[in-house]
Chains A and B, each alone.
Chain A
Amino acid sequence: MLEVRDLHASINGSPILKGIDLTIKKGEIHAIMGPNGSGKSTLAKVLAGHPAYEVTKGQVLYEGKNLLEMAPDERAREGVFMAFQYPIEVPGVSNAQFLRLAYNEKRKHLGEEELDPLEFKDLLKERAKIVEMDASFMTRSVNEGFSGGEKKRNEILQMAVLEPKLAILDETDSGLDIDALRIVAGGVNHLHNSENAVVLVTHYQRLLNYIVPHYVHVLAGGRIAREGGKELALELEEKGYDWITSSVTGSGSSAVSVI
């Protein structure tokens, strides 16, 4: 589904990603872990097409197509979804309006018929159950005045409505209390199936107790420093990131700006 080859990216001229290789197949769950500043959020944003990042080298193939040539909205309509670490507030636009618009844009793209407000309301009601959100959230402005946990749940609600093939969740666990974490993780598990893939970008192992990954990739200094199964996350939990970052530094890698 996704093939990342030797991906280099920089922001404002300073390199962040320095050669990432990653292969993701449908049905899989991958965890991208790493200390602060290792480039894991950058990887998520580059895959979603954030305009601030410049890809300087490498290739990303999504279902055989050149992902990097596609505009962010095109990627989304093709089934790439990113849950934001800090979801943006959109004052004046209700959650229901916004979701219906996004949903219908995708339907149009796929040559399917658009849903009218009433039809969509039914669909939304059903999907909202997945993240235990009640109707009052639908008439409120997108993310406006939402608590941190509500914003994250709202991201997963969007995922539930848009049904992406590739969902990248950027630090979706950060700032969540245990109940919200359980709801969010439950939602993701509910939505994951053999036809789609999930990428969890996270600092902590905690989330992986709830969403169990098939593969764990550890980033340090803009490169993948270590890869393994779910047990790698447990090892990190126990030992911290130091042993990995120091081994990267030790192997002569340049510019590891990680503390």
Chain B
Amino acid sequence: MVSQIVKEENQYQAAFRQLQQRTTASDVAWFGRLRESAMDRFEQLGFPSVKEEEWKYTNVAPITKLTFDPALPAIDVDSLATSTELARFGYPEAQTSQLVFVNGALRSNLSSLAGVPAGVVAIDLVEAIADAKYGELIREQLARSADYNANAFTALNTACVSSGAFILIRKGTELESPLHLNFVSDPSAPNSVSFPRVLIISEENSRATVIESYAGTNDAAYFTNAVVEIVLKDGARLEHYKVQRESVEAYHVATTSADLGPNSSYDSTTINFGARLSRHDIHVKMAHEGAECWVDGLYVVSSDQHTDTHSVIDHQQPHCTSHQLYKGILDGKSRAVFNGKIFVRHGAQKTDAMQTNKNLLLSDEARVDTKPQLEILADDVKCAHGAAVGQLEEDELFYLETRGIHPELAKNLLTYGFAEEVIGKIKVDSIREQLDEAVLNRINARLEA
């Protein structure tokens, strides 16, 4: 096993060397050094094992065992993904405000920014690094929020990033339409891997909605290793939706890291439907007074899917508010992990933090490990947390059945109701409708089965 992992790491290293040679952005000295240093760190850390507390319930051995062929954008096959094929991964609200990435590479011919106002920059990250206008700003922010020293997958992404998005929302700019970062995997070869990287900077008093979605065109095994960094300046507001609908054979490991400025507001909703194995680390740092965040999510898994959410909400300064509601629906032999840490640092008085994780088990073989954790070092705070794992209530089922509703449908209707608490708050209609349909299609699938 160990030699397998070493072999696998060597593969990544070989790919990494190729990448360093090829990419023009490597000419930017700091970026080249950043990647070297991240690769060094990845080699030191290696892929995490279940012996590590943070990875106790999630075994990434399947990822290390696969002989991944890092899909390098320069040799990306063009046979795939026409815009018609991709239409099903888009959202109508963002038709003229989307960046489409295929196998991790930005495809400008499939993207459209016609509906994006002047105060917004939305370009390829690596191009932006090489651009004198943004180079310095990116240097200041890239890999600052998402610490690659602590997480091997973040290190690997940082080392291998070859494409991605740089989003800059300038002071006071308000986006009417959501901006969609549409990541599609279209694996032409099996076991391809992509390293999406996103840096979003919302300047003072700007307001925007960003949708980040992941999907696969077919059921092949592939690996997405994504890192999204978000910086909110004073009074900025960002609504962030992450919709993970990778193929059922895919592996998805991602980090979202947000730094909240004074009086800023970060409202995030993460939906995990897809992937054989998914792991999401979400880290919200509130290092300035008056910030507020919503860190909500829904995971819906079945058969032998595994999903893991590790969330950290870090209250470092007074007068910040955080709300967290994560709900999970598990069927088959699926497994979910929720680990939610809330830190209230010394001096972070008047913190208001609320965390809830609720799970619905639809099968006796499904399993959830939930661990909400509060660590409070300030004394004038309002904090509450709770976790629940339950099944459908017999009385509720009976009630629906007495209205002529088939027991299987009754089960799914209650499940749908359970999910609505998260889905219902989504403000982009087409995402909400898509998820409603996904849950309701599950209903039909079950009825027909």
A contact residues vs B (CB 8 Å cutoff): 48-52, 71-73, 75-77, 81-82, 84, 87-88, 90-93, 98, 101-102, 105-106, 109, 141, 158, 162
Residue among B404, B416, B417 with most chain A CB within 10 A: B404
Contacts of A92 in B (CB 8 A): 416-421, 424
With contacts A73-B410, A87-B399, A90-B413 known, is A52 near B394, CB below 8 A?
yes
Instruction: Please determine whether A50 and B398 come into contact, CB atoms closer than 8 angstroms.
Output: yes
List 10 A-B pairs, Cβ < 8 Å.
Answer: A48-B402, A49-B402, A76-B403, A77-B404, A84-B399, A87-B399, A88-B399, A90-B414, A90-B417, A102-B403
Residue among A75, A92, A101, A162 with most chain B CB within 10 A: A92
* B257-282 to A contact mask, C-beta < 8 Å, 1/0: 00000000000000000000000000
A79 and chain B: residue at smallest CB distance: B404
B contact residues vs A (CB 8 Å cutoff): 394-396, 398-407, 409-410, 413-414, 416-421, 424
Could you tell me the distance between the alpha carbons of A228 and B417 in the complex, rounded to whole angstroms?
45
Number of A-B contacts (CB under 8 A): 80
Contacts of A158 in B (CB 8 A): 403
Contacts of B405 in A (CB 8 A): 73, 76, 101-102, 105
Instruction: Please determine whether B416 and A93 come into contact, CB atoms closer than 8 angstroms.
Output: yes
Could you tell me the distance between the alpha carbons of A92 and B424 in the complex, rounded to whole angstroms?
8
Q: Which of A88, A98, A105 contacts B395 (CB 8 A)?
A: A88
Could you tell me the distance between the alpha carbons of A120 and B253 in the complex, rounded to whole angstroms?
45
Instruction: Please determine whether B404 and A109 come into contact, CB atoms closer than 8 angstroms.
Output: yes
Contacts of B410 in A (CB 8 A): 73
Contacts of B406 in A (CB 8 A): 73, 105
Residue among B402, B407, B413, B417 with most chain A CB within 10 A: B402
Instruction: Please determine whether B398 and A51 come into contact, CB atoms closer than 8 angstroms.
Output: yes
Contacts of B399 in A (CB 8 A): 84, 87-88, 90
Could you tell me the distance between the alpha carbons of A141 and B416 in the complex, rounded to whole angstroms?
12
Instruction: Please determine whether A101 and B409 come into contact, CB atoms closer than 8 angstroms.
Output: yes
Interface residue SS majority, chain B: helix
With contacts A73-B407, A101-B409 known, is A91 near B417, CB below 8 A?
yes
Residue among B394, B401, B410, B420 with most chain A CB within 10 A: B401
Chain B's nearest CB lies how many Å from the CB of A167?
11
Interface contacts beyond A88-B396, A105-B404: sample of 10 additional A-B pairs, CB < 8 Å, sorted by A: A71-B407, A72-B401, A73-B402, A73-B406, A76-B402, A93-B414, A101-B405, A101-B409, A101-B413, A105-B403
Contacts of A81 in B (CB 8 A): 402
Chain A's nearest CB lies how many Å from the CB of B437?
13
Chain A's nearest CB lies how many Å from the CB of B370?
20
Instruction: Please determine whether A73 and B413 come into contact, CB atoms closer than 8 angstroms.
Output: no
Could you tell me the distance between the alpha carbons of A51 and B398 in the complex, rounded to whole angstroms?
8
With contacts A52-B394, A98-B413 known, is A72 near B418, CB below 8 A?
no
Could you tell me the distance between the alpha carbons of A50 and B407 in the complex, rounded to whole angstroms?
13
Contacts of B396 in A (CB 8 A): 88, 90
Could you tell me the distance between the alpha carbons of A109 and B401 in the complex, rounded to whole angstroms?
14
Instruction: Please determine whether B417 and A51 come into contact, CB atoms closer than 8 angstroms.
Output: no
Contacts of A82 in B (CB 8 A): 402
Could you tell me the distance between the alpha carbons of A47 and B400 in the complex, rounded to whole angstroms?
15
Could you tell me the distance between the alpha carbons of A88 and B420 in the complex, rounded to whole angstroms?
17
Contacts of B404 in A (CB 8 A): 73, 76-77, 102, 105-106, 109, 162
Contacts of B403 in A (CB 8 A): 73, 76, 98, 102, 105, 158, 162
Contacts of A93 in B (CB 8 A): 413-414, 416-417, 420
Contacts of B414 in A (CB 8 A): 90, 93
Contacts of A90 in B (CB 8 A): 396, 399-400, 413-414, 417
